[in-house]
Structure 1
């Protein structure tokens, strides 16, 4: 189901408060839709586990009519640390239950300086721009706060470890229940799969993605839109 696959791509969530030495607790929900049809939602929560270490837990499931056909639940966990203003992923885990369960993990061994993927028969040397499917958006927010507008990350997903380059595509203003959100539009074009990923990052929320979209070559779209932010409905 596209809802669950899109969660894997993790085009969601990021986190305010980068200028602080510590990151605040965060509780956020996004709606997930395909071709303007609501499929479900994803809930993400951030907790601090040490002086500079954090864990983000995400849960994605179908809602409403879609829940009749899809009972699977996707859970993701990203452990990372904030060091000198930089996000360093430590461990990522993806698990989908149901008839066709899927699980994979990515370990970022800082001591050995290697990246290990549970499904890929390879071990790679760590790079400064390595991120997991959740932490890369943290890194994106931090870079945008520092006025970096061309973003380069190496991201590990279920099947591959690839380089991603995001470039600015202007700005857009959204009217919400918490006021106007002025967003910077960032875009990545996946040439191999002929897909375009777009992020609308809100300045008022420290460049938290207010909305994200995947556009496929056949015109199929999958979108996430922020609906709750720390208890506030948008």
Structure 2
């Protein structure tokens, strides 16, 4: 039982590392109203909890994003874990430029955090994970884990999905290989939806994360799954989407 709960807890942590978002326009304005999306998190064949993602406009061309993953029921009692992510940035000359990113993990035994500060004028990003702190070079196109999917969905809208993206992963710059796996129709809580399936992975890593983006929902991901060595270790399914006028 203890070993099983350890695997379930690990799946919750994996869920927190998945990015969400909505596409942005070249004019620098968010083309959609603020929203909040709810996802059910599954791991090892069990429902582990809920993930809640929100997007808000912040001034002209600014954005704020958040993602919270919390376990439920017996998982919460035994694992006692939660993960929160926050990101903010701006749209400049058609580019998504994050300015801040934070991730906070809390468990019954320990806590950990990641902080990123992007300085585009100086061309650098200050990255801290726990007690480790580094300064990394910053070049156009580099983003944080949450903002990454705004870039992906914008590129899907333009039909210009590249073969790789670079992001700041804790205290390192990492390149992820992107693969467009075509269209797939899914039965979801929001109805039957046509989706584009896109996967990403790090070179040499057996872990693959796959997203199903729904054009009807402005390319909001309606399913996210993570596989390792061909076996599913975590899955998130959309439940509801709330939009503000």
> After TM superposition, is the score higher than 0.5?
yes
Q: Does 1:182 align with 2:191?
A: no
- 1:155-179 per-residue CA deviation (whole Å, 9 max, x = no partner) reads 2223532011211112100133543
Q: Residues 19 and 176 (structure 1 numbering): CA distance in 2 closer, same or farther, change over 3 Å?
A: farther
Aligned twin of 1:109: 119
Alignment coverage as a number of residue pairs: 230
Say whether 1:219 aligns with 2:231.
yes
Unaligned runs of 5+ in 2: 1-8
Matched, 1:60 2:72: no
Following the alignment from structure 1 to structure 2, what is the Cα–Cα distance between the partners of residues 214 and 59?
18
CA contact (8 A) 1:8 1:157 kept: no
Q: Of residues 150, 154, 157 in structure 2, which corresponds to 1:145?
A: 157
Alignment pair present for 1:14 and 2:26: no
Q: What is the CA-CA distance between 1:108 and the residue it aligns to?
A: 0.9
2:85 corresponds in structure 1 to 76
Aligned to 2:48: 39
CA distance in 2, matches of 1:53, 1:192: 36
Q: CA deviation at 1:47?
A: 2.0
Asked if structure 2 preserves the Cα contact closer than 8 Å seen for 1:166 and 1:186, the reply is yes
Is the CA contact (8 Å cut-off) linking 1:15 and 1:26 kept in structure 2?
no
TM-score (norm 1): 0.89
**Closer, same or farther: CA 177–194 of 1 in aligned 2, 3 Å:** closer
* Structure 1, gaps ≥5 residues long: none
Partner Cα separation in structure 2 for residue 85 and residue 204 of structure 1: 23
Of 102, 115, 136, the match for 1:93: 102
SS at match of 2:239: strand
Q: Is 1:229 equivalent to 2:226 in the alignment?
A: no
Deviates further, 95-104 or 113-122:
113-122
Given the two structures, how large is their TM-score scaled by the length of structure 2? 0.85
Alpha-carbon distance in structure 2 between the residues aligned to 1:108 and 1:16: 21
Please give the alpha-carbon distance, in whole angstroms, between the structure 2 residues aligned to 1:7 and 1:37. 14
Given that 1:18 and 1:206 are in contact with CA atoms closer than 8 Å, whether structure 2 keeps it comes out as no
The structural deviation recorded for 1:219 is 2.0
- Alignment equivalent of 1:50, drawn from 59, 80, 94: 59
